[in-house]
Amino acid sequence: MAVALDEIDVRLLKELQTDADRPNVELARIVGLSPAATLNRVRRMKEAGVIRHITARLDSATAGFALQVYLLVTLARHDDAAERRFAAEVASLDHVISADSVAGEIDAILMLVAHDVAELHVTLSRLSTRGGASRLVTLLRLAELKPSSPLPLRATSVHSRRSA
C-alpha cells in the first residue's frame, strides 16, 4: 500500500503540502529539476494516490461558522447494519465536515461546523435519533494549537540497503 519515495519526491510533497498555489516552474527550481521532470513526478504521485487531491483550505470562522466542534461518538449497537446506518447519516449531514471511525474509548470522531447553537442542535439530534449514537461528547474548538502540518515524510532508502 505504501509507495517508494526518493529525496526529491519528499521535498516536492513537503512543498505541495505547505503551498500548492504556485507555478510548476517554481517547484522545479526548488528541487533542482527541469519543469518537465517535476511535472512528471507530481503526476505520478497523483496517480499513485500519495497525493489525494489539491484543495483550498478555508478559515471556518471567517467563512461565517462561529462554532466548530469535535464530536466523540459512541454507537448504541455495533452490528454492520447499525454502522452502515450511522455512516449514511453522517454522509447526509452537511454540517459534518469529516468523520473517522476509531478504536479506543469511543467509536467515531466527527468534526462539525455551525453558524449558531440551534444549527448545531439539529445535527446533534439527527446523529442521536437516525444515526443511532448512544453517547455524544461535544468538544468546542477554542483555538488552533498547531495548524494542519505537512506529514513528517522520509525518503524510502533503497540505496542504503547496499551497506546493510
Partner DNA sequence: GATGAAATAGCATTTGC
Partner DNA sequence: GCAAATGCTATTTCATC
Nearest approach, Cβ of 150 to a copy of itself (angstroms)?
8
Task: Return the range that interacts with a copy of itself (CB under 8 A); candidates 29-37, 74-82, 101-109.
Answer: 101-109
Nearest approach, Cβ of 101 to a copy of itself (angstroms)?
5
- Where is 68: in which H helix or E strand? strand 67-75
DSSP code at position 22: S
Question: Under a CB-based contact definition with an 8 Å cutoff, are residues 60 and 113 in contact?
Answer: yes
- Where is 74: in which H helix or E strand? strand 67-75
Question: Given phi > 0 = left and psi -120 to 50 = alpha, else beta, which region is 63?
Answer: alpha
DSSP code at position 162: G
39 sits near DNA (criterion: CB under 7 A):
yes
24 sits near DNA (criterion: CB under 7 A):
yes
Site residues (CB under 8 A) for a copy of itself, limited to 34-73:
48-66, 70, 72
Nearest approach, Cβ of 21 to DNA (angstroms)?
9
**How many chain residues interact with DNA (CB under 7 A)?**
14
The binding site for DNA (CB under 7 A) comprises 8, 23-26, 32-37, 39-41
